Amino acid sequence: MFRNLPPAVRALLIVNVVVFVLTQYVLDENLWAPLALWPLHSAGVVGMLPFEPWQLLTYAFLHANFLHIFTNMFALWMFGPDTERLLGTRRFWIYYLVCVLAAALTQTWVTAEWWPASGPTVGASGGIFGVLLCYGMAYPYRKLILLPVPIPMPAWLFVTLYGVLELLLGIFGTGQGVAHFAHLGGMAGGYLLIRYWRARRAPRP
**pLDDT tens digit string along 7-64?**
999 999 999 999 999 999 988 888 889 999 998 887 667 678 888 999 999 999 999 8
The arithmetic mean of pLDDT across residues 95-106, rounded, is 96
Instruction: Give Cα 51 distance to the centre of its chain.
Output: 19
When comparing pLDDT for 101 and 166, which is higher? 101
HSE-up of 106 (CA within 13 Å, CB side)?
23
User: Residue 60 and residue 55: Cα distance in Å, rounded?
Assistant: 9
Per-residue pLDDT at 151: 80
Question: 144: burial class by Cβ within 10 Å (0-12, 13-18, 19+)?
Answer: buried
Domain boundaries, the chain: 2-201
State the Cα angle at 106 between 100 and 112, rounded to 5°. Answer: 135
The arithmetic mean of pLDDT across residues 79-108, rounded, is 96
* Residues 6+ away with beta carbon under 8 Å from 142: 154, 155
The arithmetic mean of pLDDT across residues 191-198, rounded, is 94
Contact 50, 4 (CB under 8 A): no
The arithmetic mean of pLDDT across residues 129-151, rounded, is 86
> Of the candidates 58, 68, 1, which has an alpha carbon nearest to the alpha carbon of residue 32?
58
* CA 160 vs CA 156, 157, 166, 171, 188: distances in Å: 6, 5, 10, 17, 12
The whole-model pTM stands at: 0.90
* pLDDT at residue 172 tops 70: yes
* For the chain, percent of residues with pLDDT exceeding 70: 90
Contact 155, 136 (CB under 8 A): yes
* pLDDT at residue 116 tops 80: no
Task: Count CB atoms within 10 A of the CB of residue 79.
Answer: 23
If pLDDT is split at 50, 70 and 90, which confidence band does 204 have?
very low
If you compute the radius of gyration of the chain from its CA atoms, what whole number of angstroms results?
A: 17
- The pLDDT mean for the chain works out to 88
Dihedrals φ, ψ of 153, to 5°?
-150, 155
Contact 127, 113 (CB under 8 A): no
* Domain 2-201, CATH among 1.20.1540.10, 3.40.140.10, 1.10.10.10, 2.130.10.10: 1.20.1540.10
Per-residue pLDDT at 165: 80
* pLDDT at residue 196 tops 50: yes
Per-residue pLDDT at 1: 65
The arithmetic mean of pLDDT across residues 140-159, rounded, is 82
